[in-house]
């Protein structure tokens, strides 16, 4: 026979389980805010002195070129990470404690991108700056991959209509940038220009990969979930 205390205990257990799940709204809001700050900090690295003559202005613009290049590359890569996070959390219906912490750990390397970009702008011909930039991006991509893997392997957290059919496709898309980052770091000592071009190519290659997978019947349904 089920006693009142047993029923209450069962009810309390169910309530406790539900209490550990919550809406992803605050997680998404925090993440959007962090990305907005990161994108703002990137452009603040481009500082032009006041009261310049025409001749000195040309000189300053030439000096600012590496910072502008670093800003463009970093802006596009940061935007790629934001879109990936947006795509993932469009599927998420509930978050638990582990997902909240994994999201924060993803934001940790993302928050370092402005610092890495600043080094890239100030030391454009230094292979160490290029490699440090690559390390930050690899850590960010790895955490994005962990975040994605955690979410898609737990259907209880997802919108039932957005549970992935083929997890491997999404994991491949999430992990693909790492290969380019590694190559960019490897060639930095021989050619800093080639390394910068490779970093710049990542958002373009990412877009092309998603487009290619969308055009294939066997991968279309999963690739459609990516911007």
What residue segments make up the domains of the chain, in order of their start? Answer: 23-223
Q: Which residues pair with 95 in a beta bridge?
A: 22
Ordered per-residue pLDDT tens for the chain, 227 residues:
444 444 444 444 544 444 467 889 999 999 999 999 999 999 988 877 666 666 677 787 788 889 999 999 999 999 999 999 999 999 899 999 999 999 999 999 999 999 999 999 999 899 999 999 999 999 999 999 999 999 988 888 888 777 766 677 888 888 999 999 999 999 999 999 999 999 999 999 998 888 887 777 667 767 677 77
The pLDDT of residue 171 is: 85
pLDDT for res 21: 75
Dihedrals phi, psi of 20, to nearest 5 degrees? -80, -10
Q: Which of 130, 118, 136, 122 is nearest to 177 (CA)?
A: 136
For the chain, the straight-line distance linking the first and the last C-alpha, in angstroms and rounded, comes to 55
| pLDDT the model gives residue 1 | 43
The whole-number pLDDT of residue 219 equals: 72
User: Would you call 223 helix, strand, or coil by DSSP?
Assistant: helix
Instruction: Please give the distance of CA 7 from its chain centroid, rounded to a whole number.
Output: 45
Angle at 205 between CA 203 and CA 209, to 5 degrees: 115
Cβ pair 27, 100 in contact under 8 A: yes
Q: What is the pLDDT of residue 55?
A: 61
Residue 109 near residue 139 (C-beta atoms within 8 A)? yes
Separation CA 148–CA 227 (nearest Å):
15
The single residue listed with the structure tokens 């481009």 is 46
pLDDT at residue number 8: 43
CA dist list (Å): 166 to 84, 111, 172: 17, 31, 11
């Amino acid at each position: 026979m089920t006693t009142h205390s047993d029923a209450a205990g069962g009810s309390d257990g169910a309530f406790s389980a539900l209490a550990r799940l919550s809406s992803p709204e605050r997680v998404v809001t925090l993440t959007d805010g962090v990305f907005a700050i990161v994108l703002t900090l990137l452009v603040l690295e481009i500082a032009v002195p006041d009261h310049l003559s025409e001749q000195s202005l040309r000189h300053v613009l030439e000096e600012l070129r590496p910072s502008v290049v670093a800003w463009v590359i970093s802006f596009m890569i940061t935007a790629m990470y934001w879109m990936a996070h947006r795509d993932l959390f469009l599927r998420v219906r509930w978050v638990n404690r582990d997902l909240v912490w994994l999201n924060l750990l993803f934001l940790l390397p993302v928050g370092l991108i402005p610092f890495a970009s600043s080094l890239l702008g100030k030391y454009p011909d230094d292979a160490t700056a290029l490699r440090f930039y690559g390390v930050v991006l690899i850590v960010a991509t790895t955490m994005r991959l962990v975040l994605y893997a955690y979410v898609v392997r737990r259907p209880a957290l997802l919108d039932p209509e957005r549970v992935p059919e083929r997890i491997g496709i999404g994991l491949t898309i999430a992990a693909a940038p790492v290969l380019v980052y590694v190559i960019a770091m490897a060639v930095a000592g021989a050619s800093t220009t080639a390394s910068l071009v490779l970093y710049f190519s990542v958002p373009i290659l990412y877009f092309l990969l998603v487009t290619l997978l969308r055009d294939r019947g066997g991968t279309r349904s999963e690739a459609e979930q990516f911007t």
